[in-house]
Amino acid sequence: MKTGLRGKLYLGLFLLLFFFSVLIFFMVTRIMREALLEENRNRGISIAANLAARAVEPILTIDFLILKNLVDEATSLNDDISYGFILGSKGEVLVHTFRGGFPVEMKETNTVESHQPFSRRLLDTGENLVYDYAAPVMIGEERIGTVRVGLLRTRVETAINRLLRLAFLITSIVTLAAGIVGAVLANSVTRRIKLLQQSAEKVVRGELDTHTAPTLKENCWEVMECDNTRCKAYGNFYHRCWYLAGTLCANCIAGDYATKIETCRHCAVYKKSTGDEIQSLAESFDYMTLSLKKRMEELQDAEKTMREQRMLLKTILDATPEFVYLQDCHGKYQAVNRAFCHVLGKEEEQIIGKFDHDLYPPDRAARNIEENEEILRNGTVLEKQEAIESGSGYRWCHVMRMPVRSPDGTISGILWSGRDITALKEMEARMVQARKMESVGQLAAGVAHEINTPLGVILGYTQVLLEEIPEDDPRHQDLEIINRQGKICRRIVADLLKFSRWSGSTYAFFAPNEVIEEIVSVMEHTFNLDRVTIRCQLDPLLPGFLGDRDKFKQVLVNLLNNAHDAIGTDGRICITTSFDAMRSELVMTVSDTGQGIPKEDQGRIFDPFFTTKPVDKGTGLGLSVSYGIIQEHGGRITVESPPGADHACDNKEDRGAAFLVRLPTVYFQEGQGVLKN
């Protein structure tokens, strides 16, 4: 658990007082110690100098008794004098106070020159530490002896220790008194801060009706002697007048705290009421809670209004049959309507907050992300048509994606809207078929009735005559020509009927590579007779395709026959398949090494009855039928002649043609139905 503010204040105050107490204690004791030592030094010098001055006459008269009395008197008057003795001019001992005999080594322990007033040394006698003072006995310039006095250090140490105890006692008393005063002040500060903390906790819990500052002792109307009860500050015992808007004081300006505070700083009420920082902090906190309460009430009202508006908008969006959703600039779904949820087969809670890769297959999600990035980058509107297949079948939608801009003009999201145009598509298909049947149906019916019956008779009799007339008869060759041309006419009639007849499709999953291999195995023997080879380069990872298997065969047969007719003899046909993951499309290319297609004819080769082949080689309906089948499956077919390097069947890029078929793949997801581009 961390230390509180009160504990930190106490600890800091204690450490501060302790530091300064120790500092003062050591400074005082050092000064006192040096003073006592200096006093003891001066005293020793004074005793030695006085004894030296008094010993002049006895030394000259060689009166050892007087010398002895002088030394004894000096040692007896001062308890801390350990010894005393006088040496003659030649260093001989004249008198001394040692009871057990004079220690000879003492003579040289402290020497003093004649020109020195004294000499002091600290000696260790084995029992005590002694300050030894030596002073010369002089008569004019002549030295007649030396006085030596030894002062015990014990007295000085005793005095120093006594002073240390006294200094410690005084320092402790002062520190304790300062600590008590500091604790009282710290407690006052921490108590008010604790009150602020409790008020802050109430605010966190949502209790905004809290008062931290104590009741004002002197209010603004009392200071200004005002009795205007209409003033917002009048009767308000918890908030200072400069925090309140709408005060009516003559010196105040209209506005809130930020507007009027500079004027209020010169007011007598402000000058008299401010100065205590914690009091000001508490009053500011109360004003903050008051302002926060007002802002919260305003936000709650705005939130209520926005919630009502949102419910109204959601009701309108759910009522519209169009599919609508909103994504932010990162691709996260923020809002969807009921129609879009129905298309995906998910609830709104399962979509909001998700991304494209959470709702769609990887390739579809990648395509959506790519389109969104283009919109965010260019700010353009994307408009296209998509086919969505659910359990009830295909539903064609007209889709529009547009950027959503924030008030500053930046793009903040993407709005997607889609409209069901299945009925329109069906109507267009019926109109196209109606026009086709209107123009071709009559011809096909006429051909079927007017030509097919006599043509059958002609072919029947021709077969009979061919059996009866020998082959070496010239008429036999004429009959073969009639029979061959009759079959051509019958094929033309069949193509016309196939083109004009509206037939449904049976959709099922199948593997395109298997169909290609099946068709190639049937046709390559016939092609080999003309030395035309078929080379297949099929993608083993090609996904399955949902479509009409027989019509897919018909497209492939038509393309192979066209390639064979364009080559004639001695050539190569190449079939390649691949998968475009970015567009989620199956790509099939049929290229050849034939004579190619002129530029001026490439825009017309898919028109009905357009052909560059001889009359007996084609009717011009093969590519038109194939084009219709590809369109029916939602794909597209294009031609390149000469083909590019990626589609050429050999290294000679100046010949041949390549037909590119692109068909959208289909994916199933549980609860979603089938999504198809």
Residues 263 and 352 in one domain: no
392 within a domain of the structure (yes/no): yes
Cα radius of gyration rounded to whole Å, the chain: 61
What does the alpha-carbon distance between residue 636 and residue 630 come to, in Å, rounded to a whole number? 6
- Chunked into runs of 10 residues, the chain (677 residues) has average pLDDT values of 61 74 79 78 84 86 86 80 86 86 84 86 80 88 88 76 79 79 74 74 74 70 74 72 72 68 72 68 73 82 87 79 85 87 82 87 84 86 73 69 86 84 73 59 58 75 82 81 77 60 68 89 84 90 86 87 86 91 89 85 72 62 79 86 78 77 64 37
467 within a domain of the structure (yes/no): yes
Strand-pair partners of 328? 413
Residues 527 and 477 in one domain: no
Amino acid at 624: S
Structural domain that includes position 97 = 5-160
User: What pLDDT is stored for residue 676 in this prediction?
Assistant: 39
What does the alpha-carbon distance between residue 159 and residue 575 come to, in Å, rounded to a whole number? 120
DSSP readout, 320-339?
SSSEEEEEETTS-EEEE-HH
Closest CA to 260 of 242, 287, 279, 238: 242
Residues 226 and 241 in one domain: yes
User: What pLDDT is stored for residue 230 in this prediction?
Assistant: 75
b/e map of 57-75 (b: 16 or more CB within 10 Å)? Answer: ebbeeeeeebbbebbeebb
172 within a domain of the structure (yes/no): no
* Three-class SS state of 611: coil
Cβ atoms of residues 151 and 44 within 8 Å: yes
Residues 526 and 640 in one domain: yes
Q: Which two tokens stand for residue 144?
A: 């007649």
Residues 665 and 524 in one domain: yes
Residues 123 and 61 in one domain: yes
Residues 655 and 544 in one domain: yes
Residues 603 and 646 in one domain: yes
Dihedral angle, C-alpha 167, 171, 172, 178, nearest 10 °: 170
Residues 618 and 645 in one domain: yes
Whether the bond into 642 is cis, omega within 30 of 0: yes
Residues 477 and 399 in one domain: no
* ∠ Cα 317 320 324 (to 5°): 55
State phi, psi for 491 to the nearest 5 degrees: -65, -40
Cβ atoms of residues 159 and 34 within 8 Å: no
Cβ neighbors of 358 (< 8 A, separation 6 or more) are none
314 within a domain of the structure (yes/no): no
334 within a domain of the structure (yes/no): yes
603 within a domain of the structure (yes/no): yes
Cβ neighbors of 377 (< 8 A, separation 6 or more) are none
Question: What long-range pairs does 632-635 form, CB within 8 A, spacing at least 24?
Answer: 632/505, 632/548, 632/551, 633/547, 633/548, 633/551, 633/663, 633/664, 634/387, 634/663, 634/664, 634/676, 634/677, 635/585, 635/661, 635/662, 635/663, 635/664
The 8-class DSSP code of residue 440 comes to I
Closest CA to 80 of 117, 26, 31, 43: 43
Residue finishing a domain among 449, 473, 500: 500
Residues 363 and 293 in one domain: no
211 within a domain of the structure (yes/no): no
pTM (2 d.p.): 0.34
Q: CATH number of the domain at 549, please.
A: 3.30.565.10
Q: Which two tokens stand for residue 563?
A: 């390639």
Residue finishing a domain among 299, 333, 359: 299
Cβ atoms of residues 622 and 562 within 8 Å: yes
441 within a domain of the structure (yes/no): yes
Residues 476 and 512 in one domain: no
Residue finishing a domain among 420, 438, 461: 420
Domain count within the chain: 5
